Amino acid sequence: MSQQIKAIISDMDGVLWRGSQALPGMTRLFDLLFERELDFVLATNNSSRTQGDYVDKLASMGVCGVQPRHIVTSGTATVSYLQTRFSAGARIHVLGGAGLKRILSDAGFKLVDACADAVVCGIDFDLTYEKARTATLLIRAGARFIGTNPDPSFPTPAGLVPGAGSIIALIEAASGQSPAIIGKPERGMFDAALRQLGARPEETLMIGDRISTDIAGAQALGIQTALVMTGVETKASLQESEAQPDRVFAGLPELIAAL
């Protein structure tokens, strides 16, 4: 496999770590990437953090050398989407974390709680009924509805908890409006990663833990795929899935051995 792979795209939550706990093999994976000078992009549907936040998190886990250019999030992809559809200074309401708000604010959008041009919904670990109410009313008043990613669950050390997709489903049901979804499996994040890498899909490997987003989205573009069983999938869900990864590994140590 290593002779055919010239670049790596990897998910983070459920692949590199669960919450604040690094998964076995994480530091060794980066050692291998740097040793072999394999370029890589870390592409996550998690919109709660900025690129700099992820660089800092990796450094705190003992991984140095990762730069903001190595990070693509559903938040950064959402900014690109908004910039093609709204003028600078557009009024955006955010139902999401501080990282997503900071990314949008830094891009020049005005964050508001009233008279919004668009509502951007992502993961919010401090979700309240009032937040859901505000987003719903703004969408019903005519604001465009945009979801950062469709992941229904989020892997934590305690187990799977509600993800951005679950929050988006709540707002969709309440508002009666379907959102534009930005993150994986939509091609925007994969296209951004491939542009950053300067690599062809067939010579790129996507490492993920979720078939419906990481694997299906990559395969739609002809990217090779490797599923690690350290995130959301189980043996049963893998067997029942119509989409099948090219390779399946118990975790990063087994994948590294194959590389």
Provide the annotated active-site residues.
11, 13
Question: How remote is the C-alpha of 139 from its chain's centroid?
Answer: 24
Q: Which residues lie below 8 Å from residue 83, measured CB to CB, with a gap of 6+?
A: 107
Before 150, cis peptide (omega within 30)?
A: no
Query: Which of 143, 150, 141 has the alpha carbon at shortest distance from 109?
Result: 143
Q: 51: alpha, beta or left, given left = phi > 0 and alpha = psi -120 to 50?
A: alpha
For residue 66, CA distances in Å to 52, 143, 238 come to 10, 37, 31
Q: Evaluate whether 257 touches 226 at the Cβ level (below 8 Å).
A: no
